[in-house]
Amino acid sequence: MKYDNRLLTNFLDECNIKYEVEDETVSFEYDGRYLYGYVYNPEKDGEDEDGFVSGLALLLPGIREVAPFDVKKYLKLINQLNQDVPLAKFELDEETNIIHINVAVPLDSSPEMDDLIPGLVRTLVKAHNVFLEAEQK
């Protein structure tokens, strides 16, 4: 997969949002949340000669650190939430036992980042709130 984060970094520059790029990931703070993001192109399918951008992914990292004895409980919870919450995907990093939420959407040839980024951030925040509510049950 190829990464071209110019769409994301140009948006952040226009909004005067500071960011850092490490490897192929852009880290930044938006609306009080620390996020990671990247724009990706598949290397084979879906890419035309003009470098058609195929997707944008945002990650809300570290929403919960899970104790080793609670891993099965949280795996069951995130599996259920992955079925119930549209667009958002909950993941447990098995090396660190930390849960993250990510969203990924396809992009057309001229995406409106002014609408897309805030909408995806709202989706991540809503998913986080659903996670917190489900965790309390």
Stated as kind and residue range, the H or E segment containing 134 is helix 113-136
**Residue 23 has which token pair?**
């490897």
Its domain, for residue 64, covers 2-136
Rounded Cα gap, residues 59 and 62, in angstroms: 9
Q: Which two tokens stand for residue 27?
A: 């880290």
Task: Provide the number of structural domains found in the chain.
Answer: 1
| Phi and psi torsions of 110, nearest 5° | -140, 70
- pLDDT tens for 5-63 read 999 999 999 999 999 999 899 999 998 999 999 998 876 555 444 455 589 999 999 99
The yes-or-no verdict on residue 117 having pLDDT over 60 is yes
Helices marked H in 2-112: 6-14, 71-84
Q: What is the pLDDT of residues 84-94, one digit of tens each?
A: 999 999 999 99
Q: What CATH number did the domain enclosing 94 receive?
A: 3.30.1460.10
Residue 38 has a CB neighbour count (10 Å cut-off) of 20
Q: What is the pLDDT of residue 54?
A: 81
Answer yes or no: pTM beyond 0.95.
no
